[in-house]
Chains A and B, each alone.
Chain A
Amino acid sequence: MNQPSARRRRTGYLFCLPGMAFLALFLAYPLLYNVWTSVHDVDLGQLLGGAERFNGLDNYRTVADDPAFWHSVRLSLVFTLGSLLLQFTIGFALALLFARPFPFNGLLRSLLLVAWLLPPVVSGTLFRWMLDAESGAYNALFQAVGLSGLSHDWLTDPSTSMAGVVFANVWVGVPFNMLLLLVGLHTIDPELHEAAAIDGASAGQRFRHITLPLMRPVSVTVLLLGLLYTFKVFDLVFVMTGGGPVDATRVLSLYVYEVFFSFFRFGQGAAAGLLLLVVPLLAGVWYVRRLRREDEAPAGGAV
């Protein structure tokens, strides 16, 4: 190459500088500042006056002693596991359907994606209305098909509001799961299925012994992305229930929001928020290491 490589490299660094500097300033620095806040006594007055006092692990202790915190951790687990399980299963079934060639396949698939693309605030508002007690469409639908036992004031009853927000979140997540799993299904060599069929394997056997094992790497990816996304969901739940009724849907992200922006207990909010940071980071690190290992393997199984 004509251009001296030292100069080329210098230009390269110049190209990287603005973007990386921006992320350092608006992403890395705030996150580090959050760590700093978590070991200081900071409230709204001190924020403006700038008289924060170092208080060691006090904020962490306060958070750990707060039953509402552990309640929200449990709710986050229920919300995340419930969403993951349902959206993956439904997404997988839809991917199997859409893996077949049929007329208007692409169009219908794109239409499904609309659910995933809508702003979460819109989906939240929408499901508030769909699940409404008196005039919600789902209750009317249940009655129309003779399942009036299922008609219910889903979101204002503490024992069912979690089911309501999980339902909405699954609705949002299904198209994305389907899309990624479909990409995975397309990488499976159809000759494998044909050969097995000739050998007399039934559709169920082929699914269990060919499709499922070959879909494992993609499935791990999809579940992990689902975990990362679901664990941090805020807007959808906030709009649908605001964490209520009686805290029944106050997942961790809403708890952190409340401590921080309603009570202005910045130090405790920062301390609780770190848990919300640590879980995705651990999952992410595990995932990147796993990808690296697969890259080194001679025949990469991942998509």
Chain B
Amino acid sequence: MRPPRHPWLWTVIATLITAVFLLPVYWMVKTSLTRPDRILRPDPQWAPSPVTGENYSTALGYEGLTRALFNSLVISCGVVALTLLLGVPLAYALARIRMRGSGTMVLALLVAQLPPAIVLAAPLFILERRAGLTGTYLGLIAADTTLTLPFTVIVLRPVMRSMSPELEEAALVDGCGLPGVLLRVVLPLMVPGVVAAAGLSFLIGWGEFLFGLTLGEGPDVQPVTVLLNAFIGQHGTSWGALMATATLISIPVVCVFAVFQRFIVGGLTAGSVRG
């Protein structure tokens, strides 16, 4: 390969494009730190001066915001737990064990990613309501897991396939049962894949809105995404507090991504390009 010419020039161009592209994110954080009386002006300031935490205290003073943040945390952790609990053994069996129906199950998992959430939300509303699951964490966690589980298995299966089977066979010869092999031999080897799946499931659970809106009756279990939308109606003009809330919701997303970045990007491309 030829040595690239002017590498720094390309860095400058890419930086400028990235900056323009990410302007909305900057504007969100900037607005959240600007004094409320300086936000709604025809000539907006490009940097907050003075920087203030006022919008954050207003936002956290809204009834229910801390509760909603807590709810979202419970729901997304529940989604991660349920997804891994159901998905890891499923992916392992589909990757490693010759069974009749494996192909059909893989196809079913691919198809399961297709229905739009709204088509599912409608019947789930009726069915969960009859089963008494609306307005419960479980009802929301289960609904969100229909989004994460198929995806997780599709991402994890090739990871498990690419591992050499010799270690597992050795463990089996030593008299370890298949569940033991999965727990003690396979899982430790595929930590990156599982971490990617867990990270993505968390992000999906944290950002989910529609199921929260339709199945999360009342403030007890309502996720913070639903509350943010409600705020737009109620406090439509207090952009400072709205942007503070939006920033608060984004922080865990950015943290999860920063920590698990490599795994997540890998899992993402693996899962979607060769689904």
Q: Which A residue sits closest to B174, measured CB to CB?
A: A2
Interface residues on A, range: 35 or more
Q: Which residues of A contact B226 (CB under 8 A)?
A: 121
B188 within 8 A of A: no
B114 close to A280 (CB less than 8 A): yes
Across the A-B interface, the 8 shortest Cβ-Cβ residue pairs = A119-B207, A232-B116, A12-B97, A19-B90, A15-B89, A30-B123, A15-B93, A102-B10
- What is the minimal beta-carbon distance from B159 to any residue of chain A, in angstroms? 16
Chain A proximity mask over B219-246: 1 for CB below 8 Å, otherwise 0: 0000001101100100000010011001
Interface residues on B, range: 35 or more
A129 in contact with B178 given A20-B105, A108-B14 (CB within 8 Å): no
A101 within 8 A of B: yes
A16 close to B105 (CB less than 8 A): yes
A154 within 8 A of B: no
Q: Which residues of B contact A127 (CB under 8 A)?
A: 24
A122 close to B145 (CB less than 8 A): no
- The chain B residues found within 8 Å of chain A, CB to CB, are 1-2, 4, 7-8, 10-11, 13-15, 17-18, 21-25, 27-28, 31, 39-44, 85-87, 89-90, 92-94, 96-99, 105, 107-112, 114-127, 129, 142-143, 145-146, 149-150, 153, 169, 172-173, 177-179, 182, 203, 206-210, 214, 225-226, 228-229, 232, 239, 242-243, 246, 249-250, 253-254, 257, 261, 265, 268-269, 272-274
Q: Can you list 6 A-B pairs, Cβ within 8 angstroms, ordered by A?
A: A5-B98, A18-B85, A42-B126, A118-B250, A232-B117, A253-B118
B22 close to A114 (CB less than 8 A): yes
Bound state CA distance, A170 and B259, in angstroms? 26
Stretch of A54-62, A67-75, A200-208, A265-273 lying at the B interface:
A265-273
B22 close to A183 (CB less than 8 A): no
Bound state CA distance, A17 and B138, in angstroms? 20
B110 close to A115 (CB less than 8 A): no
- What is the minimal beta-carbon distance from A26 to any residue of chain B, in angstroms? 5
B273 close to A303 (CB less than 8 A): yes
B10 close to A277 (CB less than 8 A): no
Q: Which residues of B contact A142 (CB under 8 A)?
A: none
A9 within 8 A of B: yes
Known pairs A20-B90, A269-B122, A270-B122; list 8 more (Cβ under 8 Å): A9-B98, A12-B93, A23-B108, A110-B265, A118-B253, A125-B246, A140-B43, A218-B273
Bound state CA distance, A235 and B210, in angstroms? 7
A257 in contact with B118 given A98-B14, A121-B207, A284-B110 (CB within 8 Å): yes
A234 in contact with B89 given A37-B126, A100-B10 (CB within 8 Å): no
A125 close to B253 (CB less than 8 A): no
Interface centre among A13, A98, A113, A137 (most CB of B within 10 A): A137
8 Å CB contact of B124 from A30, A94, A234: A30
Q: Which A residue sits closest to B249, measured CB to CB?
A: A122
Bound state CA distance, A127 and B239, in angstroms? 12
Instruction: List residues of A (91-137) whose CB comes within 8 Å of B's CBs.
Output: 94, 97-98, 100-105, 108, 110-115, 117-123, 125-130, 132, 134-135, 137
Interface centre among A19, A27, A110, A256 (most CB of B within 10 A): A19
Bound state CA distance, A155 and B81, in angstroms? 40
Q: Which B residue sits closest to A133, measured CB to CB?
A: B42
8 Å CB contact of A104 from B11, B25, B86, B118: B11
Q: Which A residue sits closest to B177, measured CB to CB?
A: A11
Q: Which residues of B contact A113 (CB under 8 A)?
A: 257, 265
Q: Which A residue sits closest to B228, measured CB to CB?
A: A121
Bound state CA distance, A37 and B126, in angstroms? 10
Q: Which A residue sits closest to B14, measured CB to CB?
A: A108
A104 close to B257 (CB less than 8 A): no
A179 close to B253 (CB less than 8 A): no
Interface centre among B24, B108, B206 (most CB of A within 10 A): B24
Bound state CA distance, A114 and B116, in angstroms? 23
Bound state CA distance, A194 and B2, in angstroms? 9
Chain B proximity mask over A139-164: 1 for CB below 8 Å, otherwise 0: 01100000000000000000000000
B17 close to A94 (CB less than 8 A): yes
B14 close to A26 (CB less than 8 A): no
A30 in contact with B127 given A180-B273, A234-B210 (CB within 8 Å): yes
Bound state CA distance, A21 and B15, in angstroms? 48
A9 close to B97 (CB less than 8 A): yes
B18 close to A27 (CB less than 8 A): no
A125 close to B242 (CB less than 8 A): yes
A114 in contact with B232 given A27-B120, A280-B114 (CB within 8 Å): no
Q: Which residues of B contact A100 (CB under 8 A)?
A: 4, 7, 10
A221 within 8 A of B: yes
Q: Which residues of B contact A26 (CB under 8 A)?
A: 124, 142-143, 145-146
8 Å CB contact of B127 from A33, A105, A232: A33
Q: Which residues of B contact A246 (CB under 8 A)?
A: none
Q: Which residues of A contact B15 (CB under 8 A)?
A: 104, 108
